[in-house]
Amino acid sequence: MLDNVRQKDTLIVSISGELDHYAAPKIRAELDEVLQDKSIRKLCLDLKAMSFMDSSGIGVLMGRYKLLNRRGGEIYVKNMNSHVRRIFDMSGLRQIVGVQE
């Protein structure tokens, strides 16, 4: 589900499949485990292989935003499909989570 690569203080995580109520707890736990490393200041979520996201996914992103924000870091996403882009726009996530076009 998650593949990650570290580049200095940035962790790039590729999420594949769905980020829904079923997958969210596992993805949240995996992200929290790697983010225990406090030297990670930026989290880039590559959503190229993610096919679907619901409100549970919004919760996962918001929680990681809060975690990184407390340590002076940031979170951003890239490679959103049209469905995920619509969720970002409707929910207001775009105002909080950076989007790399």
- Rounded mean pLDDT, 11-28: 95
68-84 pLDDT, tens digit each: 999 999 999 999 999 99
Stated pTM of the model: 0.91
Which residues have CB under 8 Å from 80's CB, separation 6+? 47, 88, 99
For 90-94, the CB contacts below 8 A with 24+ separation are 91/55, 91/58, 93/58, 93/61, 93/62
Report all structural domains of the chain as residue ranges with CATH numbers, in order of start: 2-100 (3.30.750.24)
pLDDT of residue 101: 77
pLDDT of residue 1: 63
31-76 pLDDT, tens digit each: 999 999 999 999 999 999 999 999 999 999 999 999 999 999 999 9
